[in-house]
């Protein structure tokens, strides 16, 4: 649609989002709406903050990662879209009773969570893609310095329908219906301003029997992440650089890489256990490195220079050689399993929704990918989608909104 008709629909849709937030009574400290019955998850994290939720926190049990193409035509419409996203995220993460719209209107909410929407531990993380900085909105000069288009790496099988996007939203919660409800709500209140480009649902397995969750190849996933409680490490590895190389508005944000990786599980399941463990470099049962006893044990590569214990080609050794020269390429990994049923040939279609956060995708994510080129594991995986994005700074209070500093 174009012209006044499209703009009228856009204004109406975004106004509905604002009205829904106002009807809930508005936010107060801790994200709780006034006058609304609330339910707070044990993992409750206030919506407001200098940095967004869903980055440093451990992956929740259920997630939806969804990329959008922005259909808003002008910069002021983009601003309305960001305000609507903020209003809906604030309301959904706070919970409460939806407003009544009268007998003539549609129900104010999908109803899948009942009459009073629980906060349910929901987090909403918003990121922008490089394509948002084209000539549509006059934002070219404000593009994050390290935001590029995702490369095609050796062994990739990228499908353009599953790549890139102007905006990316990541919903996380303990329950599937919570993230589905949030997705439907946001789509309802932003219709006319953005359209889904691709979407991936993910789940994080509970520890079995303990420690890190397992991926669908049976191995524990995300053991060697940097310590998020060490602020100096996060400033060096995760948050946007504050050395003058980035636009000032990026403070509190971070680069987010998404990779959709199919696992060829029917082939993998026919590989011997010893070979599987040598491919990963870890014991499948415990998650320990092949030269250790516990999952958190640090591999002793210096004592194994030719790879007798942990092969030089193993995934963990290629990804993180644990030498001073590669310390600066560490990433904060956040991943979920996915299951999309079967493909057209009747093969199981399952794998990993991989996301990671870093200060510089080239220095960190791409450096890791280059080390992993032609690793033995590449015979059993097929990356097919994803993209590079910049996770926006947080919404600091009730007068702030996503993208405010970007659009000033």
Specify the pTM: 0.89
Tell whether 380 is covered by a domain.
yes
Structure tokens that stand for 252 in this block: 């509190």
The arithmetic mean of pLDDT across residues 367-379, rounded, is: 97
Expressed in percent and rounded to 5, the helix, strand and coil fractions of the chain are 30, 20, 50
Is residue 406 included in any domain, yes or no?
Answer: no
168 within domain boundaries: yes
CATH number at residue 353: 3.30.70.3420
d(CA 303, CA 325): 18
List, for residues 118-175, the tens digit of each pLDDT value. Answer: 999 999 999 999 999 999 999 999 999 999 999 999 999 999 999 999 999 999 999 9
Q: Cα–Cα distance between 331 and 319 in angstroms, integer?
A: 10
State the chain's mean pLDDT as an integer. 90
Domain extent for 132 = 47-73+119-397
For 29-86, what is each residue's pLDDT tens digit?
Answer: 233 232 333 333 344 568 999 999 999 999 999 999 999 999 999 999 999 999 999 9
C-beta atoms surrounding 11 within 10 Å: 14
In a domain, 343, yes or no: yes
**Quick check: is 5 in a domain?**
no
Can you tell me the distance from the alpha carbon of 109 to that of 332, in angstroms, rounded to the nearest whole number?
35
pLDDT of 101 reads 72
CA gap 238, 21 in Å, rounded: 32
Q: Note whether residue 18 is domain-resident.
A: no
Buried residues in 96-115 as b, exposed as e (16+ CB within 10 A):
bbbeeeeeeeeebbeeebee
Q: Between residues 327 and 16, which one has the greater pLDDT?
A: 327
Judge whether 125 lies within some domain.
Answer: yes
DSSP secondary structure, 230-264, as one string: -HHHHHHHTBPP-SSSS-GGGTT-EEEEEEEEEE-
Q: How many domains does the chain have?
A: 1
Which of 92, 110, 81, 94 minimizes the C-alpha distance to 11?
A: 81
130 in any annotated domain: yes
CA distance 44 to 94: 9
Decide if 404 contacts 252 (C-beta within 8 A).
no
Q: Which two tokens stand for residue 196?
A: 């889904």
């Amino acid at each position: 649609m174009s012209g006044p008709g499209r703009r009228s629909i856009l204004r109406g849709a975004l106004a509905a989002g604002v009205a829904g937030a106002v009807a809930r009574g508005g936010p107060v400290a801790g994200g709780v709406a006034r006058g609304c019955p609330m339910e707070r998850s044990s993992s409750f994290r206030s919506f407001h903050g200098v940095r967004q939720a869903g980055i440093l926190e451990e992956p929740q049990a259920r997630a939806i990662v969804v990329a959008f193409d922005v259909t808003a035509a002008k910069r002021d419409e983009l601003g309305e879209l960001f305000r609507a996203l903020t209003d809906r995220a604030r309301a959904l993460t706070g919970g409460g009773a939806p407003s009544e719209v009268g007998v003539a209107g549609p129900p104010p909410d999908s109803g899948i969570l009942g009459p009073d929407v629980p906060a349910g531990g929901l987090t909403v993380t918003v990121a922008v893609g490089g394509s948002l900085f084209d000539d549509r909105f006059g934002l070219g000069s404000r593009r994050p310095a390290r935001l590029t288009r995702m490369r095609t790496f050796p062994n990739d099988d990228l499908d353009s329908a599953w790549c890139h996007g102007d905006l990316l939203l990541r919903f996380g919660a303990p329950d599937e219906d919570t993230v589905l409800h949030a997705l439907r709500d946001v789509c309802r209140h932003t219709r006319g301003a953005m359209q889904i480009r691709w979407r991936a649902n993910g789940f994080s397995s509970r520890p079995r029997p303990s420690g890190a969750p397992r991926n669908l190849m049976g191995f524990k996933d995300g053991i060697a992440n940097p310590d998020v409680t060490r602020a100096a490490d996060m400033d060096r590895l995760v948050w946007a650089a504050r050395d003058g190389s980035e636009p000032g508005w990026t403070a509190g944000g971070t680069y987010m890489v998404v990779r959709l990786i199919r696992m060829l599980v029917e082939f993998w399941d026919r590989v011997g256990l010893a070979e599987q463990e040598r491919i990963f470099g870890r014991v499948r049962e415990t998650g320990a490195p092949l030269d250790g006893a516990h999952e958190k044990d640090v591999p002793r590569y210096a004592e194994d220079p030719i790879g007798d214990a942990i092969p030089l080609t193993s995934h963990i050794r290629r990804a993180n050689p644990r030498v001073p020269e590669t310390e600066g390429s560490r990433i904060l990994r956040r991943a979920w399993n996915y299951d999309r049923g079967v493909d057209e040939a009747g093969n199981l279609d399952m794998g990993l929704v991989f996301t990671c956060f870093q200060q510089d995708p080239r220095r960190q994510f791409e450096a890791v990918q280059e080390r992993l080129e032609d690793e033995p594991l590449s015979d059993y995986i097929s990356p097919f989608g994803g993209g590079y994005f910049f996770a926006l700074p947080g919404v600091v209070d009730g007068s702030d909104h996503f993208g405010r500093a970007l659009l000033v």
